[in-house]
Structure 1
Amino acid sequence: MAYQLQNEQLGVKIAELGEVYRGTRFDGAGFITSVELNGRHQFCVPESLMPGSGTGGIGLCSEFGIKEAIGYEETRVGERFPKLGVGLLTRPDEAEYRFYREYACARFETQVEQKSAQQICFTTQPADCRGYAVRMFKNIEISGNQLSVTYTVENTGSRVISTDEYSHNFLGIDGYAVGPDYVLKLPFAPKIWSDEPDTLEGLVFEGDHVTWERRPEKDFYFRMDTFDGRETPWLWELRHRPSGLTVRELSKLPLSSAAVWGHGHVISPEMFVAVHVAPGERQSWTRTYGFSKSKAE
């Protein structure tokens, strides 16, 4: 049964460990599968609408080290390497690390404490792997129409932890398909590019706005200039114009990169934070989301 947070405006469901997601990509602690506003409006969707396809992502779920796993290059075939939020993974062969590949996994031990109807905390215990070891805390809390997720990475090992983290933000408002009714607003007019130009087809970029000509029939993806999110009032805003429903990420983060991925039912802004923690030290950051409904356009 899912954990739940509830106040007068928000209802949040958080999956129990291993209940919904059993893969080796996303952080299984604090896996937010549903955010409901005013008892009726839904914001979270699965990565794929086809059963059994995709990686199993849903809602607000984070990942560490999408491009490069900690210590992977020095890991011999058959040895383990750490994937924060997941466990110690086994390197099966000489191939490069791939975030979408499933690996044999010895999962980290995690304790859960529901402190109130508005707050829950997940504590993931360290497991030493050739000097890499991390204790991680994830505190999830709601207040009014805002949801906050605070991450704390504590290096309990003897080697530096260097990786990154982002929340995949699988968003689709009240089941409305992606298309001209949606607008993604950014705090400035960014420079946009993609390694695969065809992933930009059907997207319309107008200053600080991104819209869609039609419902996408394939994945779309683009990157943008990195910006210091501590100096902007918010990082991004996704609005469904006919309903007036909006979700905005209000986080104050020193971003290391930024991108947007999606498909015909899902839009996922991805804001990355560099994680660099020396032995005996900690690093903390908070992601905050605001959910609202205003007059339709």
Structure 2
Amino acid sequence: MGFQLSNEHLVIDIASIGDYKGTRFDWSGFITGVTLREGNHSFCVPESLKEGEGTGGMGLCNEFSLREAIGYEDVPVGGLFPKLGVGLLTRIDQEPYQFYRAYPLQSYRIEVGQENAQHIHFIVHPKDCAGYAARLEKSICIEGNQLRIAYQLTNTGTRVIRTEEYNHNFFGIDRHQIGPEYALRFPFDIKPWSDEPETLDGVVIKGGEVTWAGTPDTPFYFHIEGFQNRSFSWLWELEHRPSGVGVREISTFPVSSAAVWGIGHVVSPEMFIQIELAPGERKKWTRVYEFFCSKR
């Protein structure tokens, strides 16, 4: 049945531990639905609309170590390496780590406590893996029309942990198709780039605003420079312009890198945070989302 948070503005649906069984996204606090009560507007969509396609993402699901898995290069085939929020994975061959591949899994023990209708807390308990171990705590709460996800990561092992974390943000407002009716805005003029320039086909950039010439039938993906070492009152804003319904991220942590991914039914602004923890050290950060309807 999962978990649910609610107040006079928002309803948040969160998956039960183990509903998502993949080896990519953090199992704790896997948010599958956000509803803005005024107008009954929805925001969360699946990564793919085709059965069995993709990596099982949906809604607001975060991931550690997208590009480089902790300890992966040090273990032989058959050895274990940690994926924070998920468990200990088994290296299956000599190929580089790829986030989209499925690896044999020994999942972490995850404890859940719901304090009230507006607040839930998750603890992912550490399991040592060649000196790598970390305790992850995640607190999800709602205040007014804001959703807050607070993280605390503690290095309980004997080796330095170097990784990154981001939230994938699979958004499709009221399931409207991505296209000219959408605007994705940033707080500065952007110059997107991609290793595969063809993924920018149909993406229209004007200053700090992104829109689309039509509904894309192939994935788009691009990087954004400009967040590093700068502070902003908001990071991005996605609006379905005809309805005035939207969501903005107002997190205040230092953004190490940023990217945007999507296809016809979904757009995902991704804000990354860099993490480096010596044994015994801990790091805290918070992601804040604000859901709105500008037309009354």
Q: Is this contact kept in 2: 1:79–1:90, CA < 8 A?
A: yes
Q: 1:18 maps to what in 2?
A: 18
Unaligned runs of 5+ in 1: none
Percent same amino acid at aligned positions? 57
Q: Is 2:65 the counterpart of 1:36?
A: no
Q: How far off is 1:228 after superposition?
A: 4.0
Q: Is 2:86 the counterpart of 1:115?
A: no
Q: Aligned letter for 2:88?
A: L
Q: 1:221 maps to what in 2?
A: 221
Q: Return the alpha-carbon distance in structure 1 between the equivalents of residues 237 and 5 of structure 2.
A: 23
Alignment of 1:1-297 (within 5 A): 1-19=1-19, 21-38=20-37, 40-228=40-228, 231-295=231-295
Give the TM-score normalised by structure 2: 0.98
Q: How far off is 1:229 after superposition?
A: 7.4
Q: How far off is 1:191 after superposition?
A: 2.1
Q: How far off is 1:227 after superposition?
A: 1.1
- The CA RMSD over aligned residues, in Å, is 1.0
Q: Aligned letter for 1:289?
A: Y
Unaligned runs of 5+ in 2: none
Q: Is this contact kept in 1: 2:228–2:257, CA < 8 A?
A: no
Q: Aligned letter for 2:85?
A: G
Q: Aligned letter for 1:174?
A: D
Secondary structure (helix, strand or coil) at the match of 2:33 reads strand
Any idea what the Cα deviations from partners look like across 1:145-182, whole Å, max 9, x if unmatched?
A: 00000111000011111000000000000011000000
Q: Return the alpha-carbon distance in structure 1 between the equivalents of residues 182 and 253 of structure 2.
A: 25
Q: How far off is 1:188 after superposition?
A: 0.3
Q: Aligned letter for 1:262?
A: G
Q: How far off is 1:230 after superposition?
A: 6.1
Secondary structure (helix, strand or coil) at the match of 2:289 reads strand
Secondary structure (helix, strand or coil) at the match of 1:67 reads coil
Q: How far off is 1:226 after superposition?
A: 4.1
Secondary structure (helix, strand or coil) at the match of 1:174 reads helix
Q: How far off is 1:17 after superposition?
A: 0.6
Q: Return the alpha-carbon distance in structure 1 between the equivalents of residues 91 and 2 of structure 2.
A: 32
Q: Aligned letter for 2:295?
A: K
Q: Return the alpha-carbon distance in structure 1 between the equivalents of residues 191 and 214 of structure 2.
A: 22
Q: Aligned letter for 2:64?
A: F
Give the TM-score normalised by structure 1: 0.98
Secondary structure (helix, strand or coil) at the match of 1:151 reads strand
Q: Is this contact kept in 2: 1:34–1:43, CA < 8 A?
A: yes
Any idea what the Cα deviations from partners look like across 1:42-98, whole Å, max 9, x if unmatched?
A: 000000011111111000000000000001110111110000010000001111100
Q: Aligned letter for 1:22?
A: K
Q: Is this contact kept in 2: 1:226–1:255, CA < 8 A?
A: no
Number of residue pairs matched? 295
Q: How far off is 1:38 after superposition?
A: 1.1
Q: Is this contact kept in 2: 1:229–1:251, CA < 8 A?
A: no
